[in-house]
């Protein structure tokens, strides 16, 4: 399942980019979550990532871990492809 991660960096870790990303990558790998893209943004969120997680429990575990490490906060949202959305529209209409 693909997820969009909207994240904010903690002030303590914002200047420790290499260390923060190394820690996060190691945990993602351990949970079987693959990073598809990383984008840094200006505005309310500091970054937007697209990941592929084996299940929702893995995604939840990463979000909790990220916060408990003091790295920042992540809001995760499932991301559906166009085919899944079209099927949902058909199912809703019937």
- For the chain, domains (ranges, CATH) are 2-93 (3.30.70.60)
Distance of alpha carbon 18 from alpha carbon 60, whole angstroms: 23
pLDDT-derived band at 13, boundaries 50, 70, 90 = confident
CA 86 – CA 29 distance, rounded (Å): 32
Q: What is the pLDDT of residue 26?
A: 97
With 90 as the cut, is the pLDDT of residue 14 above it?
no
Rounded to a whole number of angstroms, the CA Rg of the chain reads: 15
Residues, the chain: 94
Residues 79, 9: Cα–Cα separation, whole Å: 22
- Compute the distance between CA of residue 23 and CA of residue 8 in angstroms, rounded to an integer: 16
- Is 1 a residue whose pLDDT tops 90? yes
Main-chain phi, psi angles of 17, to 5 degrees: -55, -50
Q: Give residue-wise pLDDT tens across range 24-76.
A: 999 999 999 999 999 999 999 999 999 999 999 999 999 999 999 999 999 99
């Amino acid at each position: 399942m693909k997820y969009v991660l909207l994240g904010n960096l903690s002030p303590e870790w914002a200047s420790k980019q290499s260390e923060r990303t190394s820690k996060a990558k190691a945990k993602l790998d351990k949970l079987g979550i693959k990073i598809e893209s990383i984008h840094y943004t200006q505005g309310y969120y500091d970054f937007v990532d697209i990941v592929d997680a084996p299940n929702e429990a893995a995604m939840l575990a990463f979000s909790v871990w990220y916060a408990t490490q003091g790295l920042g906060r992540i809001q995760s949202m499932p991301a559906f492809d166009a085919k899944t959305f079209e099927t949902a529209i058909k199912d809703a209409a019937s």
